[in-house]
Amino acid sequence: MTNPVGSASLKPLYVDDETQRNALIEEARQLPSVEVSSAAAANAVMLGGGYFTPLTGYMNLADALSTAEDMHMVDGRFFPVPILNLVESITEIEGAERIALRDPNVDGNPVIAIQQVDTIEQVNDEQMALMTEKVYRTTDNEHPGVAAFNGHGRYAISGPIQVLNFSYFETDFPDTFRTAVQIRAEIEQRGWKRVVAFQTRNPMHLAHEELCHMAMERLGCDGLVIHMLLGKLKPGDIPADVRDNAIRTMVRLYFPENSAIVTGYGFDMLYAGPREAVLHAYFRQNMGASHFIIGRDHAGVGDYYGAFDAQTIFDTEVPADALEIEIFRADHTAWSNKLNRVVMMNEAPDHTKDDFVLLSGTRVREMLSEGIAPPKEFSRPEVAKILIDYYQSL
């Protein structure tokens, strides 16, 4: 199993000692508080679960700018993206040394964490634009990640945090949400030595399933961790509970026993393409994976990124010694009518486009909405049934 990034062991910030946690919950009632953004709450969940080891909390502005610039904090530690707590107003917390962070995603806005306030810094337009451009490779506000990032506020609160709960993820997805600590423990319990991780924010069609089988076989892996994003997506994406059901059904029916586990993590999608691919690799190493699948337009949106930018960034911008996890580079996969199986399209040079079963996302959504299952060469019928039921319920 791979070592955590920059640490001999995971450093989860969730306070698991019940007595200490209850004391902190009581303390939080007396502290000045601020309602944080959904992104900051998700950062707290990831910090709490050990995914962002060895960070101890939210970055200050100097570290955020340095990380955006070249994926290193001021002290030289590697990290792919700024991890910030940006708020719109500091009126209620000015002068406070410790503050309670209230969760915007749970009714009543309960406290998700307590933060020690090291600094409160105002981010100017130039600094915001620099971070946006470096992380998202665009400042276009039509980009959903750009719009979200620039809508969080301009006051950056830095400092260590103590996490008191995992927001709605643990309660809404009790069978799927897992911390990096829990996934490492399960990998060890199953006796897996080489583990490949697969990222998804969508249901898995046949091509995704076969890509996972290919990676496991070619890499000689004992196990696969299907690790789905459970946080906020852009409008039109399929909700996490529907994806969860579809993926679990696929694994139950089409993967050998003890070869794959279905898990999820509590984070809001950035749609940051190459930079988000590096972040995904970073926290997959922390959860114990030795390999990570990155395909075409990984974590992308629209036409903001080249098809393989999320792969080439590991050659051009990520230092060779920054990560232990290895990248499995995948091309688009599709059913070959010539070979009667799923192939990577770049491995079938004698094929034309017409030799593959290719359907656009728009066409698939139309078919599902009309109660029509995509062809079996595109989607497992059991998965299609779940998606048809969802689209017809809208």
CATH code assigned at 95: 3.10.400.10
Q: Is residue 4 part of a domain?
A: no
Closest CA to 114 of 149, 159, 156: 159
Same domain? For 201 and 339 the reply is yes
pLDDT at position 81 is 98
Tell me, what's the pLDDT at 46?
98
How far lies 54's CA from each of 43, 50, 79, 259, in Å?
13, 8, 10, 29
Cis-peptide, bond into residue 54, ω within 30° of zero: yes
Q: Take residue 169 and report the two structure tokens written for it.
A: 């993820």
* Of 21, 109, 202, 365, catalytic: 202
Based on the domain organization, do 122 and 201 belong to the same domain?
Answer: no
Domain end among 170, 198, 228: 170
Specify whether 139 is located in the same domain as 253. Answer: no
Same domain, 280 and 160: no
The predicted model gives 320-339 an average pLDDT of 96
List, edge to edge, every strand of the sheet that includes 291-294.
260-265, 223-229, 195-200, 291-294, 326-329
Residue 201: per-residue pLDDT: 87
Provide the pLDDT confidence category of residue 198 given band limits of 50, 70 and 90: very high
What pLDDT, in 10s, does the model give residues 105-151? 999 999 999 999 999 999 999 999 999 999 999 999 999 999 999 99
Give mean pLDDT, residues 171-190.
96
- Give yes or no: residues 190 and 309 share one domain: yes
Residue 60: pLDDT band (50, 70, 90) is: very high
Q: Which of 67-71, 247-251, 360-364 has the lowest mean pLDDT?
A: 360-364
State the average pLDDT over residues 33-52.
Answer: 98
Q: What number is the average pLDDT over the span 90-97?
A: 96
Q: Report the pLDDT value the prediction gives residue 360, as an integer from 0 to 100.
A: 87
Active-site annotation holder among 98, 201, 248, 365: 201
Residue 236 is predicted with a pLDDT of 78
Q: Where are the alpha helices (DSSP H) in the chain?
A: 18-30, 38-48, 61-70, 125-136, 144-149, 169-172, 180-190, 206-219, 240-254, 274-286, 309-316, 361-369, 381-393
Higher pLDDT, residue 53 or 365: 53
Task: Give pLDDT, residue 232.
Answer: 81
- 260 is a domain residue: yes
Which pLDDT score is estimated for 394? 86
Tell me the residue range of the domain where 127 lies: 18-170
Q: 201 catalytic, yes or no?
A: yes
Strands 111-116 and 155-163: antiparallel
Query: 348 vs 107, 214, 354, 356, 379, CA distance in Å?
Result: 52, 15, 12, 10, 21
The neighbouring-strand residues paired with 336 are 341, 356
Q: Indicate if 127 and 203 belong to the same structural domain.
A: no
Does any domain span residue 10? no
The pLDDT of residue 38 is 96
Residue 40 has phi, psi (to 5 degrees) of -65, -35
**Residues with Cβ < 8 Å from 222, sequence gap 6 or more?**
190, 191, 192, 193, 194, 195, 259
Q: Is residue 306 part of a domain?
A: yes
Give phi and psi for 105, each to the nearest 5. -100, 5
Lowest mean pLDDT among 147-156, 246-255, 360-369: 360-369
Same domain, 192 and 149: no
The CATH number given to whatever domain includes residue 378 is 3.40.50.620
Same domain, 341 and 365: yes
Separation between Cα atoms, residue 304 and residue 296, nearest integer Å:
13
DSSP state of 13: -
**Percent of the chain having pLDDT more than 90?**
95
Count of structural domains within the chain: 2
Stretch 53-68: mean pLDDT = 98
According to the model, what pLDDT value does residue 235 have?
A: 77
Residue 13, domain member (yes or no): no
Give the end of a domain, one of 153, 170, 187: 170
At 360, is the secondary structure helix, strand, or coil?
coil
Partners of 57 in the β-ladder:
160
Query: Which pLDDT band holds residue 237 (cuts at 50, 70, 90)?
Result: confident
Q: Is residue 9 part of a domain?
A: no
Last residue of a domain, one of 152, 170, 188: 170
CA distance 394 to 391: 5
Q: Kindly state whether residues 200 and 265 are assigned to the same domain.
A: yes
Task: Tell me: do 127 and 247 sit in the same domain.
Answer: no
pTM above 0.85, yes or no: yes
Do residue 197 and residue 86 come from a single domain?
no
Length of the chain as a residue count:
394
- The 10s digit of each residue's pLDDT in 269-319 is 999 999 999 999 999 999 999 999 999 999 999 999 999 999 999 999 999
* Residues 241 and 154 both lie in one domain: no
270 part of a folded domain: yes
Residue 85 lies in a domain: yes
